[in-house]
């Protein structure tokens, strides 16, 4: 997601809220809570994904879970609770047969040539979240994550440029300095399962502790790749904003440099009225806004929960 879209989707109140909450991506303080065996630069991959804001089953909302279940059942034409290759790959309509075969194989965790409902759900939640996180880095919106795009965003999330570079190399299987969706999903999917419990255990834990929808996650009918949004999205840092938009590199953002849709978040920071916003002005502006916000208060309360869609049952007994 580009910064423009990120700003726009966050909305101003949420920007302020996010400023008052501690960043969960601060990996320095994170406890490693898995038996992840794969390491990148000495960091367990479960920790890498967590720092990239992956919530996996911990972020699964009731409505998203129901959506996945519904979609599973539509494809499970003989209703035996499993997708056969015939049902998913041959009869399926999503993407190409080749892509479906790849997804089927990735989802089949226990390698029994069938994809159970839990295997399907786990694979969907892992891949949809991965796509959402990576798409947010696609600043030029060309559908690929170039190395510069990845390093800009991931260095900040991981708080470590060297680690970000190493992660990029792992994702970039064909070494063309850009990440295509199937390419990074192959690695991400492996990392997301490394040292973790079985799909049925993980889906069970998600069902037992369903996550409330984040404010702004208003549309539960979610498209692949857009369905998952980490609940703690912070606005881009002031440094990132400057780096991204200060095209003439004079240390100020002139109105012409700022995309129309996010001017409202930046231009009010121009305190000396010179029609340009310096890094310091923007920092002070954000601090001021944050201090005016009571800690712990939640904007848009009650407007965006997904509970309204829970009437849809359609979940056959196993
Ligand atoms: Ca079936
Ligand atoms: Ca299986
Ligand atoms: Ca791109
Ligand atoms: Ca590549």
Element containing residue 289 per DSSP (H, E): helix 279-292
Cα 97 to ligand 2 centroid, rounded to whole Å = 19
* Domain co-membership, 9 together with 33: no
Cα 145 to ligand 3 centroid, rounded to whole Å = 4
Q: Which ligand is nearest to the CA of 85?
A: 1
Cα 162 to ligand 3 centroid, rounded to whole Å = 20
Which residues sit opposite 172 in a β-bridge?
Answer: none
Last residue of a domain, one of 212, 232, 252: 232
Q: Which ligand is nearest to the CA of 1?
A: 3
Q: Is the pTM here over 0.85, yes or no? A: no
Report how far Cα 216 is from the mean position of its chain's Cα atoms.
14
Domain containing 238 — which CATH number? 1.10.238
Cα 286 to ligand 2 centroid, rounded to whole Å = 49
* Domain co-membership, 110 together with 193: yes
CB 225 within 8 A of CB 128: yes
CA gyration radius for the chain?
Answer: 21
| Average of per-residue pLDDT across 297-311 | 38
Q: Which ligand is nearest to the CA of 82?
A: 1
Q: Which ligand is nearest to the CA of 174?
A: 4
Is residue 318 situated within a structural domain? no
Residues with CB under 5 A from ligand 4 (ion): 172, 174, 176, 178
Is residue 317 situated within a structural domain? no
Which residues sit opposite 278 in a β-bridge?
Answer: 252
When divided into structural domains, the chain yields a total of 2
Q: Which ligand is nearest to the CA of 199?
A: 2
Q: Is the pLDDT of residue 30 over 50?
A: no
Q: Does 216 or 304 have the greater pLDDT score? A: 216
Residues near 40 by Cβ (< 8 Å), separated by ≥ 6?
Answer: 48, 163, 166, 167, 170
Element containing residue 253 per DSSP (H, E): strand 252-254
Is residue 313 situated within a structural domain? no
**What pLDDT was estimated at residue 300?**
42
* Domain co-membership, 171 together with 214: yes
Q: Does 1 or 188 have the greater pLDDT score? A: 188
Cα 196 to ligand 1 centroid, rounded to whole Å = 26
Last residue of a domain, one of 232, 255, 273: 232
* Domain co-membership, 60 together with 166: yes
Question: Where residue 209 falls among pLDDT bands split at 50, 70, 90?
Answer: confident
* Domain co-membership, 201 together with 275: no
Q: What is the pLDDT of residues 163-186, one digit of tens each?
A: 999 999 999 999 999 999 999 999
Is residue 193 situated within a structural domain? yes
Domain containing 48 — which CATH number? 1.10.238.10
Is residue 176 situated within a structural domain? yes
For the chain, the average pLDDT equals 80
Structure tokens at 316: 């056959």
Q: Which ligand is nearest to the CA of 138?
A: 3
Q: What is the pLDDT of residues 152-161, one digit of tens each?
A: 999 999 999 9
Q: Which ligand is nearest to the CA of 145?
A: 3
Question: Where residue 214 falls among pLDDT bands split at 50, 70, 90?
Answer: low
Cα 62 to ligand 2 centroid, rounded to whole Å = 23
- % of the chain residues with pLDDT over 70: 74
Q: Which ligand is nearest to the CA of 176?
A: 4
**What pLDDT was estimated at residue 288?**
83
* Domain co-membership, 252 together with 264: yes
Is residue 114 situated within a structural domain? yes
* Domain co-membership, 56 together with 198: yes
* Domain co-membership, 139 together with 34: yes
CB 199 within 8 A of CB 119: yes
**What pLDDT was estimated at residue 82?**
98
Last residue of a domain, one of 184, 206, 232: 232
Q: Which ligand is nearest to the CA of 143?
A: 3
Cα 113 to ligand 2 centroid, rounded to whole Å = 6
Q: What is the pLDDT of residues 45-79, one digit of tens each?
A: 999 999 999 999 999 999 999 999 999 999 999 99
* Domain co-membership, 5 together with 46: no
CB 185 within 8 A of CB 127: yes
Domain carrying residue 298: 1-21+234-306
* Domain co-membership, 48 together with 191: yes
Is residue 181 situated within a structural domain? yes
Is residue 149 situated within a structural domain? yes
| Average of per-residue pLDDT across 92-118 | 96
* Domain co-membership, 136 together with 209: yes
* Domain co-membership, 136 together with 275: no
Cα 192 to ligand 4 centroid, rounded to whole Å = 20
**What pLDDT was estimated at residue 222?**
41
Cα 53 to ligand 1 centroid, rounded to whole Å = 34
| Average of per-residue pLDDT across 8-31 | 39
């Amino acid at each position: 997601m580009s910064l423009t879209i990120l700003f726009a989707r966050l909305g101003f109140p949420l920007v302020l809220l996010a400023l008052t909450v501690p960043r969960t991506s601060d990996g320095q303080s994170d406890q490693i809570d898995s038996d992840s065996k794969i390491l990148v630069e000495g960091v367990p991959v479960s920790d890498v994904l967590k720092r990239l804001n992956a919530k996996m089953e911990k972020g699964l909302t009731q409505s998203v879970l129901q959506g996945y279940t519904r979609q599973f059942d539509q494809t499970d034409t003989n209703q035996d609770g499993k997708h056969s290759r015939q049902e998913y790959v041959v009869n399926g309509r999503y993407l190409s047969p080749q892509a479906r075969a790849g997804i089927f194989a990735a989802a089949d965790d226990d390698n029994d040539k069938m994809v159970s409902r839990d295997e399907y759900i786990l694979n969907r939640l892992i891949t949809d979240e991965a796509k959402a996180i990576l798409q947010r880095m696609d600043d030029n919106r060309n559908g690929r994550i170039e190395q510069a795009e990845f390093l800009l965003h991931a260095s900040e999330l991981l708080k470590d440029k060297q680690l970000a570079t190493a992660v990029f190399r792992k994702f970039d299987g064909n070494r063309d300095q850009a990440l295509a969706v199937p390419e990074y999903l192959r690695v991400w999917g492996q990392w997301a399962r490394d040292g973790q419990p079985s799909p049925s255990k993980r889906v069970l834990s998600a069902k037992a502790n369903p996550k409330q929808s984040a404010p702004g996650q208003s549309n539960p009918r979610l498209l692949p790749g857009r369905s998952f949004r980490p609940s703690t999205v912070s606005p881009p840092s002031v440094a990132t904003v400057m780096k991204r938009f200060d095209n003439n590199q004079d240390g100020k953002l002139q109105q012409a440099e700022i995309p129309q849709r996010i001017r409202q978040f930046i231009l009010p920071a121009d305190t000396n009225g010179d029609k340009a916003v310096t890094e310091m002005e923007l920092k002070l502006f954000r601090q001021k806004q944050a201090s005016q916000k009571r800690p712990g208060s939640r904007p848009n309360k009650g407007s965006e929960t997904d509970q309204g869609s829970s009437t849809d049952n359609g979940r056959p007994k196993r």
